[in-house]
Structure 1
Amino acid sequence: MTVRLSDIADAAGVSVMTVSNVMNGKRARVSESTIARVQEIADRLGYVPNIQARSLKASRSHIVAALVPVREESSLLFSPHTVAVIGGIEQHLRHRGYHVLLRGIEQEGDIAQAIRGWSLDGAVLVEFADSEIDRIAVDGIPLVALDSYSANPRTIGVRTDDHRGGWLAGAALTGAGHRRLLFAGPPYEGMGVVGQRFEGFRSAVVAAGLDADSIAVERVLTSFEDGRELGLRLREDHPEATAVFATADVLAIGIMAGLAERGVRVPEELSIIGFDDLEISGYTRPALTTIAQDLRAKVAEAARIVLEEIEGGEGPRSPVTLGVELVERGTVAPPRRA
């Protein structure tokens, strides 16, 4: 038997309009207790919304795309950071009655094609370079770009204070006495996330009285295996380095694995700081010192903004920047040599 909104309303003792608002994500004027009661009754009765009918009535598809770049035939979910972001987006949108279309983007022009090719209400862009976002020329669909410093007026940026994060890493390492430092991350020319982290790191190093030239740089992709390969050759390529700042935890953990294979002890022989504070960072041995970003808050803010824009926002706004903090664990110690 088909369960109707009126069935739920009768069981909950509220109006059909209230039930409709809850089911369609329009909950601003509905109390939390009523939302919980309506949702519990709907679940118990086995209510299944008629997505097609709802979309026709509202002129919406209730579909939001999560677009992720795919490089060199790799899976779009190879990174723990990406998995956490996509999972959070899906959770927030599902609770508001929306569906998430997950799509890997192999070529730059595919972003606009993917947005235009589906009946989307909005899209969240995850881990794209600013240069790719700069060239998006799609109007009429809310677009939220995570970790973006693009000035494209068609997108709304939600990001972490990457400059501050880099500064905290540099201050922690120089404060521990390190003078020969290595920065490891993707190419940072053109600024963006990695560029901001590098500039913050360099600022802290200079503020500590060191020459910016004391920072060696390794341009390496953000993956465990690329980090491991760097760890395997790090002592040969950078024998003077006493500490490393890696722009992502997964990269830092890979570097630690490569160093371990070479018999290099962390932090006794080399200190290392990551960035993200992924759950796995607490499981390494030693546990990884890292720059923590509030990933849950960032994802929640992205979901909130895209839904607000879909449901009547007033267009582009200033980027949202969330704070960071240093989480000290076990991978930083004073150097054996200054």
Structure 2
Amino acid sequence: MTGPAPAVAAVRRAVRGACADLPAGALVLVACSGGADSLALAAAAGWLAAPGGRGRAAWRAGAVVVDHGLQPGSAQAAERAAAACRDLGLDPVLLEAVDAAGGPGGPEASARRARLDALERAAQRTGAAAVLLGHTRDDQAEQVLLGLARGSGARSLAGMPARRGALRRPLLGLPRTTTRAACAALGLRPWEDPANTDPAFARSRVRAAALPVLEGQLGPGVAEALARTADQLREDAEVLEALAADLLARCRGARPTDGLDAAALAAAPAALRRRALRAAALEAGAARPDLTREHVLALDALVVGWRGQGPVQLPGLVEARRTCGRLRLAPAPPPPGGH
């Protein structure tokens, strides 16, 4: 008796490993678009969670399909993805329609926020212990290249984590060719999202042009190297962020309105201080997508370059000002004559 195709076995191993800590009976939702990555993921989860069979999972598998409504025929594509998940034995299968047309950061960022919100709602509604996303090693490499092009810091260049809250990405260690091969071996017909080849989107240009050029000029293995770089940077970023959180805790006063001890902040290394200041700005309500390095440097100047300058305005209607040796971040007062 022959076993499954190597690609099918690789995807199943990845899913089994990512969910090994889940208790018996827990519900796992697969976020499925119908594309090759998420369809291979759904097939593996459905097989692992099927009743009976030695070595299969004790958890249950369902799916959630998000219709972003950004292109003609998206509702039909979502219905086909939901039907495919049912055919693979996943239950329940939820279909979430979202409005991803507006918001800061452009259509890609807006769609991502809407999708994550929908997945969170689905997990809460069903009591799911985990939501599996189909991002592969190639997606990770694309994320790192986009971060480099934007001049991002270590946290952004660290790419997507394998786990964050209920979200899990079992396929980050596998190339996209493996998920396509798994679908072919199982006789599954993935949906090809037109957005993946639309040059209007930066990620599509990276996928279709930038990475192939790098592979052609530097040799094979660029995507794997970029993903490996992300893993290493993530380890460093997690340590630095933990140290920055400790620094913030030491600088806080007894009451939230006391603000932060500017002298204690100034004594810290710049990398920790600036991470702490960014975290403090976000805690105060600054808008994450619009909070830039320039904003953080302006906050830093209130700490190490204090010359009596006025308050710093942050996105999200947050204001930072230094008074009596302390840095205070709070909602900005309304403009004169405002309501």
Give TM class, smaller chain: under 0.3
Normalized per residue, the structure richer in strand is 1
TM-score normalised by structure 2 residue count: 0.25
Structure 1 or 2: larger helix share? Answer: 2
TM-score by length of 1: 0.25
